[in-house]
Structure 1
């Protein structure tokens, strides 16, 4: 089955072993393409014969050996502590078997090869015996001699695969390879589930041997007859691990971890690995029907992929990725930030993690698919990604490629992209709000879409589109409103509309919070029209108001009077030239944050405390009929004037979206109407 034990292959260039690192160059790139050896054996060809029964009679005396390197302690660590799930022993032994088959192919292709039976099917056979609690795994690979059995199975953490790679490197130079194992401890995972393990192995030109151990610190090697070329492992399972002698259990483990191994895996006479690793194929050769089938397989869902990103890169990291963007709308479970990402992580077609959280950022958790990279640093059990700069780099590369791909769809298929953004835009906005890195926020912001004052109703544009049209230097304006009609009628928009300044409309509740958090994009400041009004120093210049306006002294007098009547509510009262059709507006320092506060927290506070936090400022229009009439009423009917100014203030608060329940208008409005009707 294998010529050496192994745990995992980390990288053909980088091998991480605990805290140490040993560089190993690539194997010849030509070998990466070799899946069908010269003797015309197809990887899809497999025999239906079952594993050979135990009829290998002894051919000599058995010799007893002791494990090296504090093996008893190491065996305990491997069997009890290294792996979180017992089922991974099947993954480890199948990966060993795959390595043995690859080594046989390489050996056969080498010069002066004298291997026996080169026309035999290259496959992995697995047989279950539920009655006897026995699991048998057999390969037709390179096999082992007696010395190799002692060297490879007698010393834990000595990887024959790593040694094999080194030999190839010395002989051939650098390139790619299909060898998985590197650490040399994967074989010992068998002792997690087995009381006793027997290994029958024969290399070409060598007699067969039986290696056996109960994991207690010693093992025996005995010459035996009738051993097939290759390796067979027989596991006598512990009582509490009897489920691994059940065919259905083993089939499910194969499907989970080893479905994409290059060689056939035959379980009790039937091929068990039937799904192709599409991510390793040429994108042009994969029809959409195969993508649809594969998407359903890896996602466990019944919808179809909306977009397909088939990605390959060799620098700065070796990456083979197949990413799908779902067609269906996200469910409540997917919306939760506790949901894991839908990416499965593979290394050389062997599953490492079915849900990987740090390969893409959390906000891209709706993306489903497969990432296969030989450069990923793993811990010894191949179950956890080590925290390293490589993981960060991999995430950066993949995230950048996803964003670039979605931008391409935005340009090539605008209608389809708008539908996608309508369904999944909330995730992109989450990525901006939760990210602390400005560059990463701006990358995600490339995918945002908004309606614009310069475009027809319903038509959307990106921030990049806005920049190509903007007349205002280095500024992007935006306005939040429940609908386009209310946005275009907003008092905050009046002056910018008159100047034909483009403004983005934010109709979703959190759009303005996203833009406030983003702050800038490609050097352009993002400013809400309310904040622009509040900070506009020129708007407070009242020297050229005209004859239809209150005089400067009247404005000052009215402002002081209003401030007194709105004590505890409005922190200040200013006159502004920014208004034309509206008598007044309310501004606060950060309108987006204020509206978010009103939606989420203000109900817990008293009115006085709420106004103290918001600190609203009332901006009045001294040219408006109502404001001019208000000034007269302060002299003629102070009681009515007070009701009127309070009504104007609460109206402005509602218009600004700073009132949790607009029904509060009714009480003050009724009081005002009652006072007005007293004269009639």
Structure 2
């Protein structure tokens, strides 16, 4: 009951305009008001917890520190109460009558001046309370300060011109807000519970809705790693990631510099993208002192880490007054860099400690690492170090890495050679590998369809240049070869004749030292598109640049030597064979757009030579 007439107060200058900004512009989603009011209640409880430790005389000392919420659909009200520090009349005027004055901020400043450690509080600005007017057309606040003898007070406003304050009896310590809602949406118990679990699930103090606690999962990311069991990690992963599987990897760390951060990240048990289930949504949420800031913050992590689930919590976030968007995008970039580097270091350690488990990770999530190589230049080296592949010096099914490749490379070797293809078998059966094997040079095999694009984005690793083994400009040492070869004059005559007969299909025909067992090979220029890139561009309807390869012939191959003789004795048949050899080389290089025509010419040639 009121013991005196309500005292009328006017909001500070321009408050109506500011309220209008808060209600219609500052917050992008009306439901945020629940988070703001619960955060304020949590602040009040944290302050009260500290007061009980530092003050001997406290009103209702020992009372349970909790937040109580009551919904009333019939009367369209939502009540949020806390047993926290409460407010005096002066504090009501200062905190609720003045836009952007923060009781929390002032409290922290006072604690700092007294030389005491401040409490773990959430808000740093004073407009969270006014978000209530987004959903309510009238708000009542019942409050009583922690100080013994302080009176109970009632603050009331419609968010328009001003507010009233009057003393009331039978008010418990803390603050109780009664929101008279514009509609019954936020008076539904199920809706309020949904919002609490979404935004405030990790608030330190119990949140009771109609007597039932809703925040039952703890903020384990703030604990030390040795305080959390494997089972607790798995339970939290399933909760935060809305998952049913078990986490594959768990990374839990904290840092104080350059910014304060606590992070708990999970790699899922499976990559759903590889089963055609669509692109995964980012699953790492951003928190500030256990209060959700954004469930899917843009730019917090690079796009290629979208498979991660978990929480990043930073107490250093300089938020705007709505807590919904960052004032300082540089901090987001700093978080991005810090978390990404830590995760890549984590993967590097996992690869070293448990290579077989990492191989399973690479099989499931390697595509994301490759996406990172193509899109994140600053992380290329670290990501490239995590790639796994077969090579000409590994057994089929045995994977290696660029670092391991370099340990086997020749002392003077400045390149890492690689070939792409649909399978190891196809690569090994082609003409490009034989020159390298004959010289003891290792060639990495890449068989994922995206590898060609990725490798074109990766110029080097650990100071060694990545070079496709089918490029024309590669210079290799001479081999001691006892095979009888065409003489210089014969070879020159054959290459000139063959280039003429090919009618511009190739840039030139040369005698090379690439080949050991094959008769001819088509070598592409350094900057030319590989077959996979050409196929992708063609499928996108893009015009293909004209690329003419160099054709190298093996002057010691029996077929080439017979062709040299045949061009003089039977020029017509020699031309058919020469063109067919060139077409097959171009086909192997992925430069033939009509393979059926090559097969048809082969059939005609066979019919001609078989009597």
In which range does the TM-score fall when normalised by the shorter chain? Answer: over 0.9
Q: Does 1:631 align with 2:571?
A: no
Give how far 1:116 is off: 1.4
- 1:508-535: CA deviation from partner (whole Å, max 9, x where unpaired): 122233222111112111111112xx11
Matched, 1:274 2:216: yes
The change in CA–CA distance for 1:447 and 1:592 in structure 2 (over 3 A counts) is: farther
2:386 matched residue in structure 1: 447
What is residue 335 of structure 2 aligned with on the other side?
394
- CA deviations 1:420-466 (Å, max 9, x no partner) are 1111111111111123x3x3211221211111222221111222222
Taking the aligned partners of 1:466 and 1:386, their CA distance within structure 2 comes to 46
CA distance in 2, matches of 1:574, 1:521: 32
User: Residues 447 and 416 from structure 1, CA distance in 2 versus in 1: closer, same or farther, beyond 3 angstroms?
Assistant: same
Aligned partner of 1:120 among 63, 67, 79: 63
Residue 577, structure 1, aligned to residue 519, structure 2 = no
Whether 1:312 aligns to 2:254 is: yes
What is residue 621 of structure 1 aligned with on the other side?
A: 554
Matched, 1:674 2:610: no
Tell me the equivalent position of 1:25.
none
Does 1:647 pair with 2:589? Answer: no
Name structure 1 gaps, 5 residues minimum. Answer: 1-56
TM-score (norm 2): 0.95
Report the secondary structure of 1:597's partner residue. helix
Decide whether aligned partners of structure 1 residues 493 and 343 sit closer, same or farther in structure 2, where only a CA change above 3 A counts: same
Higher relative contact order (CA 8 A, sep 6+): 1
- Secondary structure in structure 1 of the residue aligned to 2:440: coil
2:458 maps to which residue?
518
Cα deviation, residue 371, structure 1? 0.6
- Is 1:171 aligned to 2:114, yes or no? yes
Q: 1:448 to 1:538 in 2, by over 3 A?
A: closer
- Alignment partner of 1:60 is 2:1: no
Task: Say if 2:197 is the partner of 1:264.
Answer: no
Alpha-carbon distance between aligned partners in 2 of 1:616 and 1:603, rounded to the nearest angstrom: 22
Aligned-partner SS, 2:248 = strand
Does the 8 Å contact 2:320/2:327 carry over to 1?
A: yes
1:477 aligns with 2:417: yes
Q: Could you tell me how far apart the structure 1 residues matched to 2:528 and 2:48 are?
A: 66
Aligned twin of 1:379: 320
The CA distance in 2 between the partners of 1:330 and 1:604, in whole Å, is: 25
**Partner residue of 1:45?**
none
For 1:364-443, what aligned pairs fall within 5 Å after superposition?
A: 364-435=305-376, 437=377, 439-443=378-382
Residues 513 and 348 of structure 1, relative CA distance in 2, 3 Å threshold: same
Quickly say closer, same or farther: Cα 1:538–1:425, change in 2 above 3 A: closer
Residue-pair matches, total = 608
Residues 400 and 335 of structure 1: CA distance in aligned 2, closer, same or farther (over 3 Å): farther
Q: 2:476 and 2:397 mapped to 1: Cα distance?
A: 34
Structure-to-structure mapping, 1:523-602, within 5 angstroms:
523-531=463-471, 534-537=472-475, 548-590=484-526, 593-602=529-538
Question: 1:361 — aligned with what?
Answer: 302
- Post-superposition Cα deviations, 1:360-386, rounded to whole Å, max 9, x if no partner, equal 111010011111011233333222234
Once the two structures are superposed, residues 56-76 of structure 1 have per-residue CA deviations (whole angstroms, 9 ceiling, x without a partner) of x10111111111141000001
User: Over residues 375-420 of structure 1, what are the superposed CA-to-partner deviations in whole Å (9 max), with x where a residue is unaligned?
Assistant: 2333332222345322111111100111111111111111111111
Q: What per-residue deviation string (whole Å, max 9, x for no partner) do you get for residues 269-325 of structure 1?
A: 111111111111221221222222211111112111111111111111111111000
Q: SS of the counterpart of 1:671?
A: helix
How far apart, in 1, do the equivalents of 2:469 and 2:243 lie? 44
Q: C-alpha distance in 1, partners of 2:586/2:540? A: 18
**1-structure distance, mates of 2:57, 2:195:** 36
1:43-97 per-residue CA deviation (whole Å, 9 max, x = no partner) reads xxxxxxxxxxxxxx10111111111141000001111111111111010000000
Q: Is the 2:143–2:174 Cα contact (8 Å) retained in structure 1? A: yes
Q: Is the 8 A contact 2:285 2:297 kept in 1?
A: yes
Work out the CA distance in 1 between the residues paired with 2:278 and 2:327: 26
Could you tell me which residue of structure 1 aligns to residue 142 of structure 2? 200
The Cα shift of 1:331 comes to: 2.9
Task: Say yes or no: does 1:145 pair with 2:83.
Answer: no
Residue range with higher mean Cα deviation, 244-253 or 548-557: 548-557
Which of 369, 379, 397 is equivalent to 1:458?
397
Whole-Å Cα distance in 1 between the matches of residues 118 and 524 of structure 2?
A: 62
CA–CA distance in structure 1, aligned partners of residues 65 and 583 of structure 2: 81
- Alignment partners' CA distance in 2, 1:167 and 1:235: 31
Residue 219 (str. 1) matches residue 157 (str. 2): no
Deviating more after overlay: 318-327 vs 382-391? 382-391
Deviation (angstroms), 1:546:
6.8
Tell which deviates more after alignment, 646-655 or 589-598: 589-598
| Cα distance, 1:646 vs structure 2 | 1.5
1-structure distance, mates of 2:332, 2:400: 34
Name 1:331's counterpart in structure 2.
273
Q: Are 1:513 and 1:592, in contact at CA under 8 Å, matched by a contact in 2?
A: no
Decide whether aligned partners of structure 1 residues 177 and 103 sit closer, same or farther in structure 2, where only a CA change above 3 A counts.
closer
Aligned to 1:349: 290
Moved more, 315-324 or 445-454: 445-454
* 274-283 vs 384-393, which moves further: 384-393
Deviations 1:454-497 (A, max 9, x none): 22211112222222222243321111132223333332111211
- 1:210 equivalent in alignment to 2:154: yes
1:592-643 deviation line (CA, Å, top 9, x unaligned): 833133322347899xx86x61211111111111111111121111111111
Which structure 2 segments of 5+ residues have no match? none
Q: 1:454 to 1:133 in 2, by over 3 A?
A: same
1:488 to 1:244, Cα distance in 2 relative to 1, 3 A: same
Aligned-residue Cα RMSD (Å) equals: 2.1
- Within 5 A, what are the aligned runs for 1:45-56? none
TM-score (norm 1): 0.86
8 Å CA contact 2:132–2:179 kept in 1: the answer is yes
CA 1:630–1:605: 2 relative to 1, 3 Å:
farther
Deviates more, 1:409-418 or 1:190-199: 409-418
Aligned-pair CA distance for 1:343: 0.4
